[in-house]
Structure 1
Amino acid sequence: MDTRGSAAVEFVYRPTVADFEEALRARARRSPAGRVQALMAPGAAVVAVSAVSFARGAPPVVWVISLVLAVAVACWATAHGTQTMARRMFGAVRPYGECRMLAGDRGAVAIGERASYTMDWTVFPRYVETPGLFVLLGGGRAAGVALLPKRGARTPADVDRLRAILDRNLKRL
C-alpha cells in the first residue's frame, strides 16, 4: 500500500497496557457494541435479582439491598474484565516491540520489530479520539480495535495531520 503522498504521517511508539485500557474504555463509551458489552453484566444482575426476589416474594428492602450489591459486583466485574482484556491484547502485541506506523489517505502500514501489516481504512471505518490515543473501531458488530498513541508523533503537527487523514477517511464518533 502506498502511504507516501504529501499527507502521509509517521508515528513511532511502544504500546502499553494502559493504551489498551484507554482504548477499551473509549470503545465502551462511544460504540454500540462497547455499550452493550459494558451494560450486559449489570443488566443481567438487575434481571436476575428482580426475578428471584419476585419469585420468592422478598420484601422490598431485601430486593433493594440485593439489587444494589449485585449491580456493584457486576460493575466491578465489568471493570476487571476490561483490565484483563487489555492485558491480553497487550500480550498479543508485546512481542512486536516498538511500532512504526505510516498513515496516508489510502490506509496505514504498521511495522513492528518482528511483524508488519497493511490495512485499508475500510477495515476500521470509525474512530474515537481520546486525550492520548486515536482508537480505530471495526465496522458493524465487529469487536476490532486498533490504537495509535499520540505520544508516537514526532511533532504536535503530526497529530493534527493524522486527525485530518482520519477525518477524511473514517467516521468520527
Structure 2
Amino acid sequence: MHMEQVEQTERAVFVYEPTLEDFRRAVRARARRTGAGRAETALVPLVTTGLILGFGLIREFPSAVLAVCAVLGLGAGAFGVARGRRGMARRLHQVMATYGQCRTVVDERGTATTGRTMSYTGDWKLFTRYAETPELFVLLGGPRASCLAVLPKRGAEEPADADRLRGILDRNLRRL
C-alpha cells in the first residue's frame, strides 16, 4: 500500500460532551499562543491605563492620585480582558451544547462533527493552526478568521486516536 493511501484512510475519532471548561481552556490557549490573543491581553489594560492617566494629567491630579489611577486602570483592563474571555467561552459553549454528545471524525479531508441535533463538516481551509494543551486540541482559523474548534482528549475513542490526530493535524495545520 502506498503512503498516500494510508494517509487517506487514517482517521481519529472523538466522542465527547462539550463542557464550558473545555471552551474556557480553548480560549485561554488561543490567548496565550496567538499574536492576536497576546495583543488583547496587553493592549486593553495598557489603553485603559493610558486613558485614565491622560485624563488625570489633563486635570492635573496629584502624583499620588495618578499612581492610584494607574493601578486601578491596569486592574480594570485586566478584569475586562478576563470577563471578555469568559463571555466568549460561554457563547461558544452555548452553541455547541445544542449538539449534545458529539462524535468528531478527523481525517485528511478535514473534520466532521455529528451531534444529537446537528452536524457540521469543515475542510482544512477553515483552519490554519492548532494548539495542544494537556486536555485539548484547539483548532484555530487564520489571523482574520475567528474559527475555533475544540477536541477534548478525554473523547478519544481509542488511546491511539490522540496520536493519530496529532499526526493528521501536523500534516494539515501549523502547530503553535
Q: Give me the TM-score of the superposition, normalised by structure 1.
A: 0.92
Distance in 2, Cα, partners of 1:58 & 1:143 = 41
Q: Give yes or no for the alignment of 1:96 onto 2:124.
A: no
Count of matched residue positions in the alignment of Structure 1 and Structure 2 = 170
Aligned partner of 2:41 in structure 1 is 38
Letter in 1 for 2:30: R
> Is the contact made by 1:95 and 1:114 (CA closer than 8 Å) also made in structure 2?
yes
Deviations 1:50-79 (A, max 9, x none): 211221222222111111112112212211
Distance in 2, Cα, partners of 1:134 & 1:105 = 16
Structure 1 counterpart SS, 2:146: coil
Deviations 1:68-121 (A, max 9, x none): 112112212211221122111111111110100111112111111111111111
> Is the contact made by 1:33 and 1:143 (CA closer than 8 Å) also made in structure 2?
no
Aligned partner of 1:147 in structure 2 is 150
Q: Give me the TM-score of the superposition, normalised by structure 2.
A: 0.90
Residues 80-159 of structure 1 correspond to what in structure 2 (within 5 A)? 80-159=83-162
Match of 1:77 among 74, 77, 80: 80
Letter in 2 for 1:140: P
Distance in 2, Cα, partners of 1:48 & 1:24 = 27
* 1:39 to 1:141, Cα distance in 2 relative to 1, 3 A: farther
Letter in 2 for 1:69: L
Q: Give yes or no for the alignment of 1:52 onto 2:86.
A: no
**Cα distance, 1:15 vs structure 2:** 0.3
User: Over aligned residues, Cα RMSD in angstroms?
Assistant: 1.5
**Cα distance, 1:44 vs structure 2:** 1.7
Letter in 2 for 1:107: G
Match of 2:15 among 12, 17, 20: 12
Q: Which runs of 5+ in 2 are unaligned?
A: 1-6
> Is the contact made by 1:33 and 1:141 (CA closer than 8 Å) also made in structure 2?
no
Structure 1 counterpart SS, 2:154: helix
Identical counterparts, % of pairs:
46
**Cα distance, 1:12 vs structure 2:** 0.4
